[in-house]
């Protein structure tokens, strides 16, 4: 396992800039999640680290070694592709064995069988080992694809939305499995997703990407509790942070353009009146859709609340975030 | 209500006809649709086949329609299968088949592999390579006789260029040992592009991401070629072999134009021999038996082959 660093890495495809001067360090043994919407440059970052693509400028190193001009094999990376990329003419077992059967490794057969069996168990595909790769459901293919990376012990794991096509229960199971495999092995993992729950639950570090730039890099808590901008603040948190004009509540700094309120930054029962529009009982919590001075606010309240639409509730901000006209956070 | 063209057509149909059409069951309508095709197939395929089988047990001669036709049982078959000349044509056919397929598969796959690399002008090259296939076989046969000309032929001069042998010292068409190769070379020149196109379709069907995954799994280019490229192109390649095999089993035009079956009957393929028996010697019953034997051979080989092909596809 090794530390991965990117220094001033840029990449464009024709006129489109995919990555713009990206600098970040993925510490040895960390689980780094790249967050951002489609086109933010997440997958491009993975492909550059893997060596499948080459950056236009900047420097990528793994374990303090410059990776310029090296192939994925030389970099010793394992990658999980978003589109699975299984070997269609091989069985699940053969797919999982494929990386271990590399002549460079010379892994003994019983060792291969043991590793494949172990991984298949973890990914709940043991019963499908002798199926052809094309005879699987999307979720099963995705698990085989994850398994093909996990049978190895590379310098870094790269995963491109590996849980995206799984059902909710399996996704929750595999989140825990992936996290424990990573921490057991002390593996370095670079993980792309736009699912914030995956980011919050698994990541030791989160990199927020926006149009090819890293806007914030830190622990999930840092990004949640201390976002640098509206954009970064909106990446994490369910329900999303509410952004209103700064003037709707009194007491905003003069340079503030907007105020950001997470549910826990809204005190209920004090302050100014707002109208309850809709009440969503989610079981463990209840979401309130409020209308406040013709602005919509979504917040969370007690699971067993008696509030119903049409009620009036008083709200007041508590330690809110203030942002300037560009969306940057005011200290 | 909006009047679609279907609604209009329905309204324009006379009531009587409409009732009659509606009275038909789905099954009847289905039969009405396939009936013309079935009739055509019966008329041009099945009936002639059965008639040929019938004739193969007689001594019928089509140029003497008034002669009394006698049933000869299996005598035609016995005579064909024990005739060394026919076995010689079978051997010539086998030689032609095997070598054209081997050469076309190897060269066609190699060309497809090269042309599949992304380089400037590969579309133009594909077009140029495909040219021979678009010519008429008779034309190809005819102009290869010029290429093989010992005095002026380009082919002999090319051989001279590489080996230093005197171009007039050998004749591809005139020599009993070289003539079988002459037809193999001409057919390979003409049909390799076809195999290339099918292989190219196979190569293009392999997504880049599979190679990328293999790259990350540390498979060498060599291993990628043997574990990904070859198995995934194999069904396409086998299909190309099937097409070329069936085509070349009934090869006639190119070879007749090029060598006329000679020298001797070293390049007399079965279909050329069959044509002579049937339409030069007019031994209709005998040649019918000959045709049935060929039919059973091709049909049997093709069935076995298609089974193998399906197995490869399932893999």
* pLDDT tens column, A296-325: 999 998 888 888 888 999 998 988 999 998
Residues A174 and A58 in one domain: yes
DSSP string, B142-203: HHHHHHT-TTT-HHHHHHHHHH---GGG--TTT-TTTHHHHHHHHHHHHHHHHHHHHHHHHH
Q: Select from A179, A212, A234 the last residue of a domain.
A: A234
> Which CATH number fits the domain that encloses residue A146?
3.40.50.300
> Which CATH number fits the domain that encloses residue A243?
2.40.50.140
Write the pLDDT tens digit of every residue in A24-35.
999 999 999 999
Report the distance separating Cα B232 and Cα A89, nearest Å: 7
Query: CB neighbours of A49 closer than 8 A, spacing ≥ 6?
Result: A4, A6, A60, A62, A67, A75, A77, A156, A158, A190
The tally of domains found in chain A comes to: 2
Q: How many CB pairs under 8 A join A and B?
A: 60
* A205: containing domain: 4-234
Which residues in chain A are contacts of B220 at CB distance < 8 A?
73, 103
Residues A224 and A294 in one domain: no
Residues A113 and A32 in one domain: yes
Minimum Cα–Cα distance from B314: chain A residue: A89
Phi and psi at residue A189, to the nearest 5°: -135, 125
Which residues in chain B are contacts of A151 at CB distance < 8 A?
none
Pairwise CB contact (< 8 Å): A52 & B210: no
Q: What pLDDT, on the 0 to 100 scale, is given for residue B187?
A: 95
Minimum Cα–Cα distance from B209: chain A residue: A85
Residues A117 and A77 in one domain: yes
Which residues in chain A are contacts of B238 at CB distance < 8 A?
none
Q: Would you say residue A38 lies in a domain?
A: yes
Query: Interior CA angle at B36 toward B31 and B39, to 5°?
Result: 100
Residues A277 and A230 in one domain: no
Minimum Cα–Cα distance from A47: chain B residue: B212
Torsion of CA A79, A80, A81, A87, to 10 degrees: 90
Q: Please say whether the beta carbons of A192 and A34 come within 8 A.
A: yes
Residues A98 and A215 in one domain: yes
Residues A19 and A92 in one domain: yes
Of B212, B218, B231, the CB nearest to A102: B218
Q: What pLDDT, on the 0 to 100 scale, is given for residue B261?
A: 83
The pTM for the full model equals 0.79
Listed residue (A252, A268, A263, A251) closest to A300, CA to CA: A263
Residues A54 and A115 in one domain: yes
Q: How far is CA B232 from the centre of its chain?
A: 23
Q: Select from A207, A234, A261 the last residue of a domain.
A: A234
Q: What pLDDT, on the 0 to 100 scale, is given for residue B218?
A: 87
Pairwise CB contact (< 8 Å): B216 & A83: no
Q: What interface predicted TM-score (ipTM) does this complex get? A: 0.82
Q: Is A135 on the interface with B (CB under 8 A)?
A: no
Substitution target from A49, A70, A73 for chain B, most B beta carbons within 10 A: A73
Residues A316 and A187 in one domain: no
Report the distance separating Cα B235 and Cα A29, nearest Å: 45
Q: A63 pLDDT exceeds 90? A: no
Q: Is B3 on the interface with A (CB under 8 A)?
A: no
Q: Select from A210, A234, A258 the last residue of a domain.
A: A234
Q: Annotate A37-63 with b (16+ C-beta within 10 A) or e (fewer).
A: eeebbbbbbbbbbbbbbebeebebbbb
Pairwise CB contact (< 8 Å): A78 & B216: yes
Q: What pLDDT, on the 0 to 100 scale, is given for residue A231?
A: 92
> What's the gap in Å between the CA of A11 and the closest CA on chain B?
19
> What's the gap in Å between the CA of B217 and the closest CA on chain A?
5
**Which helix (H) or strand (E) segment is A323 a member of?**
strand A321-323
| Mean pLDDT, chain A, whole residue set | 89
Residues A222 and A246 in one domain: no
Minimum Cα–Cα distance from A53: chain B residue: B212
- Measured CA distances, A132 to A87, A101, A136, A151, A170 (Å): 9, 18, 7, 19, 21
DSSP E strands, A246-294: 258-261, 266-281, 286-292
Report the distance separating Cα B242 and Cα B105, nearest Å: 11
Residues A264 and A194 in one domain: no
Substitution target from A85, A131, A154 for chain B, most B beta carbons within 10 A: A85
Of A85, A89, A102, the CB nearest to B315: A89
Residues A126 and A217 in one domain: yes
How many residues appear in chain A? 331
Q: Would you say residue A177 lies in a domain?
A: yes
| Per-residue pLDDT tens listing for chain B (315 residues) | 566 777 787 777 777 777 777 777 888 888 999 999 999 999 999 999 999 999 999 888 888 888 888 888 888 899 989 989 899 999 999 999 999 999 999 999 999 999 998 788 888 988 999 999 999 999 999 989 999 988 888 898 888 888 888 877 888 888 888 999 999 999 999 999 999 999 999 999 999 889 999 998 888 889 999 999 999 999 999 999 999 999 999 899 999 999 888 788 889 999 999 999 889 989 898 999 999 999 999 999 999 999 999 988 876
């Amino acid at each position: 396992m090794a530390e991965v660093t990117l220094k001033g890495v840029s990449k464009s495809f024709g006129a489109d800039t995919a990555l713009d001067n990206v600098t970040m360090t993925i510490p040895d043994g960390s689980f780094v999640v790249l967050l951002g919407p489609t086109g933010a440059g997440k997958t491009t970052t993975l492909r550059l680290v893997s060596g499948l693509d080459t950056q236009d400028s900047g420097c990528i190193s793994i374990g303090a070694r410059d990776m310029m001009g090296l192939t994925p094999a030389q970099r010793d990376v394992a990658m999980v592709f978003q589109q699975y990329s299984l070997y269609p003419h091989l069985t699940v077992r053969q797919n999982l064995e494929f990386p271990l059967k590399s002549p460079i490794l010379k892994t003994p057969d019983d060792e291969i069988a043991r590793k494949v069996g172990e991984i298949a168990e973890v990914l709940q595909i043991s019963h499908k080992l002798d199926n052809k790769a094309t005879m699987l459901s999307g979720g099963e293919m995705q698990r085989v694809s994850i398994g093909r990376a996990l049978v190895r012990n590379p310098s870094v794991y790269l995963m491109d939305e590996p849980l995206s096509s799984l059902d909710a229960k399996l996704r929750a199971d595999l989140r825990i499995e992936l996290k424990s495999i990573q921490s057991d092995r002390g593996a370095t993992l670079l993980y792309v997703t736009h699912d914030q729950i995956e980011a919050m639950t698994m990541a030791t570090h989160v990199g927020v990407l926006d149009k090819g730039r890293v806007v914030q890099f830190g622990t999930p808590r840092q990004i949640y509790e201390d976002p640098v901008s509206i954009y970064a603040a909106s990446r994490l948190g369910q329900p999303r942070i509410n952004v209103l004009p700064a003037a709707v509540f009194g007491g905003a700094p003069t340079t503030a353009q907007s105020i950001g309120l997470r549910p826990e930054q809204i005190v209920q029962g004090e302050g100014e009146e707002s109208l309850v529009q809709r009440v969503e009982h989610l079981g463990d919590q209840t979401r309130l859709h409020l209308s406040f001075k013709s602005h919509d606010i979504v917040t969370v309240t007690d699971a067993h609340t008696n509030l119903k639409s049409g009620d009036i509730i008083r709200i007041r901000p508590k330690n809110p975030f203030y942002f300037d006209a560009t969306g940057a956070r005011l200290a | 209500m909006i009047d679609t063209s279907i609604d209009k057509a329905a309204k324009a149909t006379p009531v009587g006809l409409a009732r009659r059409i509606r009275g038909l069951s789905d099954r009847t309508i289905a039969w009405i649709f396939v009936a013309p095709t079935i009739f055509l197939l019966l008329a041009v395929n099945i009936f002639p086949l059965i008639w040929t089988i019938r004739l193969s047990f007689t001594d019928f001669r089509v140029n003497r329609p008034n002669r009394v036709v006698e049933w000869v049982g299996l005598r035609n078959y016995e005579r064909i299968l024990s005739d060394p000349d026919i076995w010689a044509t079978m051997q010539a056919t086998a030689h032609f088949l095997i070598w054209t397929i081997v050469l076309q598969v190897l060269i066609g796959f190699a060309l497809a592999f090269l042309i599949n690399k992304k380089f400037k002008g590969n579309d133009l090259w594909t077009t140029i390579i495909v040219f021979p296939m678009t010519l008429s076989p008779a034309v190809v046969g005819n102009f290869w006789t010029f290429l093989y000309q010992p005095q002026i032929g380009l082919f002999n001069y090319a051989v001279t260029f590489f080996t230093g042998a005197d171009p007039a010292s050998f004749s591809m068409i005139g020599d009993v040992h070289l003539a079988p190769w002459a037809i193999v070379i001409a057919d390979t020149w003409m049909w390799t592009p076809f195999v290339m196109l099918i292989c190219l379709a196979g190569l293009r069907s392999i997504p880049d991401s599979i190679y990328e995954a293999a790259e990350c799994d540390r498979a060498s280019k060599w291993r990628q070629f043997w574990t990904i490229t070859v198995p995934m192109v194999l069904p396409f390649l086998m299909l190309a072999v099937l097409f070329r095999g069936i085509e070349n089993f009934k090869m006639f035009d190119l070879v007749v134009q090029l060598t006329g079956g000679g020298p001797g009957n070293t390049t007399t393929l079965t279909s050329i021999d069959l044509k002579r028996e049937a339409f030069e010697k007019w031994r209709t019953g005998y040649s019918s038996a000959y045709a049935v034997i060929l039919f059973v051979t091709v049909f049997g080989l093709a069935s076995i082959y298609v089974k193998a092909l399906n197995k490869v596809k399932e893999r």
